[in-house]
Amino acid sequence: MPHSRRHSITVVDIAREAGVSKSTAARVLASRGSASQEARRRVLTAAEKLGYRPNALAKAMASGASMTIAAVIPDIASPYFSAVMRGLIDAARANGFEVLLTNTDNDAAVEERSIEVLAEKRVDGFVIAPVFQEHPRAIERLVAEGSPVVLLDRRTPALGHVPLVSLDHVGASRLAAGHLLDLGHRRVALITEAPARVQTADLIASGADDTALRPSQQRQIGFARAFEERGLVVDDSLVIHAEYSATSASKVFGRALDEGLDFTAVYCTDAVLTYGAFQAVAERGIRLPERFSFVGFDDQNWTTVVSPPITVVDQPTHALGVAATELLLGLIRDHDAVVTDLQLPARLVPRGSTGPRGQ
């Protein structure tokens, strides 16, 4: 017993016990290469007897594959990301991979450090919901080195060539706005966390590649597209800007309500904003959809327990996680695989909070 440290059972021990060479034992244990029935039986018996547990670290070291992927996201505690991660982990496990999970809190420094640490652990690939910044150096380095990387939910301009799996943010908003417009609404307010300086017209004009924009901006574009497609135009005075927090949304939308903003329907472009905006509605005892129609984002569980239940745009969260993983695994299997972006469609769930204008 060389060390005082508990000596774990290795291939060598199995080989000795089974009376075969190390390689033979290794071969049958990894079910790779060939071995006689007899050898196989004896090795397996020995392994069973000694309680052999393969060392994945050594395996990874020698083979170059750790069978582990990394997920780098803002916050696992958010309903959205926890649901996506569920899909991601399910898909990973189904393919024999485990996942190292880390939160960035949308902090660029944390993201960089996390990616560095995970790269040191030699994960086989990364799924990243990147922090918005000019130069995500850590990610750029990964890509430069040829590490498999898939972006999730959003893509920064500098990462234009990295594959992205996301919701079709634009389409989601077209769906929501279209629903309201088709109900006859014309004065439709929008609650967004997009920077206030951006005018809807400018956003649309910029055209080109929407996916380089923040999801909130893409959602604003989709909103405008729905108007455009019907020969209408968005009234920027109805675009309400909030910070990314329920408190802010509640305050800002509450103020709009108190000041008598003239609108007959409102669309919230994000889950958190939806929650905040609805708080403002609930606090004031406003009746929907009589006073105005209300469309929220994400099918959060509270939306069906309030009165009336809220019409929402629902994201395929689990599917997003699965898709991101599968895209990544494709890249891991073949680093030069041609991968294309994947935009999953949202689904409109009409409920009681929306109704025809003037009802």
Partner DNA sequence: ATGAAAGCGCTAACAA
Partner DNA sequence: TTGTTAGCGCTTTCAT
Enumerate binding residues for a second copy (CB under 8 A). Answer: 5-6, 53-58, 60-61, 64, 66, 68, 75-79, 82-83, 85-86, 89-90, 93, 98-103, 114, 116-122, 145-146, 275, 278-279, 282, 300-302, 304-307
Residue number with CB closer to a second copy (57 or 233): 57
Residue carrying the six token digits 């750790």: 66
Q: Comparing C-alpha atoms, which of 230, 134, 217 is closest to residue 180?
A: 230
Mention every residue, 6+ apart, whose C-beta is less than 8 A from residue 269.
173, 190, 191, 192, 193, 194, 216, 219, 220, 223, 297
- 27 touches DNA by CB under 7 A: yes
- Side-chain half-sphere of 157: how many Cα atoms within 13 Å? 5
Q: What residue 82 binds from a second copy, DNA, none (CB within 5 to 8 A, per partner kind)?
A: a second copy
Nearest to 201 by CA among 169, 174, 233: 233
Partner interacting with residue 99 (select from a second copy, DNA, none; CB below 5-8 Å by kind): a second copy
Q: 177-194 as b/e, with b when 16 or more CB fall inside 10 Å? A: bbbbbebebeebbbbbbb
Contact 118/100 with Cβ under 8 angstroms? yes
140 binds, among a second copy, DNA, none (CB under 5 to 8 A by kind): none
Asked if 23 interacts with DNA (CB under 7 A), we say yes
CB of 46 to DNA, least distance (A): 12
- Residue 266 binding target from DNA, a second copy, none, CB below 5 to 8 Å by type: none
Site for DNA in 29-88 (CB under 7 A): 29-30, 32-36, 38-40, 52, 54-55, 58-59, 61-63
Report how far residue 200's alpha carbon sits from residue 221's, in angstroms, rounded to the nearest whole number.
7
Contact 130, 136 (CB under 8 A): yes
Q: How far is the CB of 14 from a second copy (least distance, A)?
A: 15
CA distance 18 to 96: 28
| Min CB(87)–a second copy separation in Å | 9
Question: Which residues bind to DNA, rule: CB under 7 A?
Answer: 2-3, 7-8, 10-12, 20-24, 26-27, 29-30, 32-36, 38-40, 52, 54-55, 58-59, 61-63
